[in-house]
Structure 1
C-alpha cells in the first residue's frame, strides 16, 4: 500500500469472499467503502447484500444495488450474439460478457461518490481480474485498482472463515465445509469450476447442474417455437413481442425444461493455464441457433463467410477482456452493418438437449427456389455457364498438374 485511499467502490455480492474483502479494505486502507451489487439476472435475492453491507458499517447512501438486466442483454449480450461469437468454437462467453458492464457501472459510481479507487474479488489465477481491470482502465485511466487476492495473506477458505468469525461476519453453513465447486451466474448462463470438476477425465456430477434438466429426463415430446428477428436482434417469441431481457429469460425457461445448453469444456485461460469448467447456457444456445438460421437466408455468402472469420477474433477479445478496445468496436461496426437485413422468423424444435432449425422465412431472403430447383427453372439459370466457370477456376490447377506431372 503506497498511497492514501479515501473511498473505494467494491463489486460486492454479499457472499463470504466479498464480505471479507469489505472488512479487509476498511482495515488495510482505513478507507470508506461503497458497495455495488449488480442484478444481472443471477436469480438470487439481492436485498440481503444491503443488510450485510449496512452491518459492516457502509452508509445506506453508499450501497448501490442496480437492476442491469435489460442493459446487459440489450447492450452486451445481443451485440455479441450478432457476431455469433464462440470462444474456442464452443463457449458462449456468459461470464466474460458480464464483466465490462460491471466495470462500467463501478466507474460511474466512483465518479458519482467521489471515490479514488475500485476493488474486485477476482483471484490472481483467473481471467476475471484481467476483464475487470481492463474495463476500469479503459474508462478511467487514472483510477486506483485494488485486488485483495493479489495483496492479502488469506490464501485458503479456512483463512477466510477464520477472518470472518474474528470480525463477526456471518458465514453460511454451506461455506464451512470444503466447497465442492464455485459458480458464477447471470441471465445468460451459469458456470461451475474447481474441486469436483478439476479432473477432466471425470464426468460432471449431476448435482452440479442447476439450470437445465437432465436431457434424459426431459419431455418425450418435442416442442416447436418461433423467434422473430429485426436487424439481427430477437424481438418476439411465438409471435409475442418481448424486450431483450424478457426474451432471453423466456428462452432460459424453455432450455431448462428440455435440457438444452450444457457444455463441458477445457479452455485456455488468457493468463496462460488450461481450466475445466461446466457451462449451462439454455436460452443463449437456443437463441444462437435461431440467429444462425435467419442469417442463412439473409446474408450474402461473402458477408457470411467473412463474419465467421471475424467471429473468432471477436470472441477472443471478449474472453480476454477487451470489450472497450477500439478493435472490438471496429469489429462491432462491421458486424452491425451486416445485420441490417437480418430479419424474419425462425422455427425451432426443442427436444432432449438439442435445438434444431426446422424452418425459416424472411422478407429479405436471398434464397430463390426458382433458381435452385431441380425442376424446370424456366431460364432462371443457364447450366452451360458452369463450364466456363469451372475451367477458369481449374486453370491454375491444370498448370500445376502439367508442371508437376510432366
Structure 2
C-alpha cells in the first residue's frame, strides 16, 4: 500500500467540484457547496451520529442507505440543517432530488450532507441556483476544491488517498473530511466521504467501513461534544476491475487496512486542525480486563478537561491522569498502575517516581505529539484514543461561532 496524491477523485471514475453558492456570509466568499460524482453507481456504506438530536441530512441518508446503492455526495457548509423541522427535511429531500435530476439518476442514490450553524433554515434557493454550474464543473482534479467546500471552522482542507494491488488490479481508496470542533467518538461534528474503485459487495463494504471508523474517527476527541450531523460514507464503483472482494478473504483484510489507513489519516488531520489545538496526544491503555474497560479508561482520560488543560499549559501534573483513571467507572487497583509520558516512566505501581522524572516530563510536554501509556496490570486487553489540548483559542472560537 502506498499513499498517492489526491482525495475523493483519486480512484477511477470519480469527479468532484466545489463552488460558492451564497450559504456562507458574502464577505467571506468561501466555497460552501461540494459535489462528488461516480461515473457509475455502486454499493455504498455509512456510519452516522449517535446523538438523539439528528439533522435532516442524516435522517435522509439513513433512509437512502437501506437501498444500498450510491451515485453522488452533495454537501453544503455554512448551515447544518439541524433542528429545522419538516422544512429542513423538505430541503434535504430537495437537495437529493435536484442532484438526481441533474445527474439523471434515482434520488435514493444521492447522499446529502450539511454542516454549520444549527437551528437556521437551509437556504435551499442558493443550492437550487448553484447546482447546475457545480455539476458542470466536476472533474478528476476537483477533489481539493470539494474538500475545501465542506469546511466550517477548519483551517485547512483534509484529503488523502492510498493505492494497493488487490484481486490482480490496482485498487484506490480516497477520502476527504471536515471537522474542527464538537469532535468526540460515535462520532463528532465531522463529515467524512470516502470513495473507492474496488469491486466489493455492500455488506462487505459496510463491515469494512465500521471496522475502519471504530479504529479511527471513533478514537478521537477534541472537546467531548457529539454533533447532530456526523456522517461517514463510502461509495464503491467497481471500476478497478479487481476480482470482487468478499468478507473474510485475504483481499478483504487488505482492503480493510486501506480503508482504515485513509480514515485514521483523516481523523488525525481533524485532531491537528482542532480549534485552538497545539498538541495531539495518543492515550494508550494496556493491561485491562476487557476491551470495553480499556476503551472506557482511554476515553475518560482523553476527555478530561483537567488533563487537556495540563497538556496545553505544559504542566507535568500526572496526578490528573490518575484522578481520571479513578473515576472511569472501571474496577482497578491503584497500587498496580504504571504511567509513561512520551516514553518517560512517571508512575510505577501507583507511586510517582519523583522530581527527576517530572523534570523529564516537562520536556515531553513541550513537544507537539507524544503518547500517554497507561498500564492497569489487570488483564491483556488494550485500547487507544487520540486527544488534544484545550486552549484559550478554543474558548475564543466557540464563544463567537455564530458571529
TM-score range, shorter chain: under 0.3
**Structure 1 length-normalised TM:** 0.23
The answer to which structure has the higher helix fraction is 1
Q: Normalising to structure 2: TM-score of the pair?
A: 0.24
Q: Name the one with the larger strand percent.
A: 2
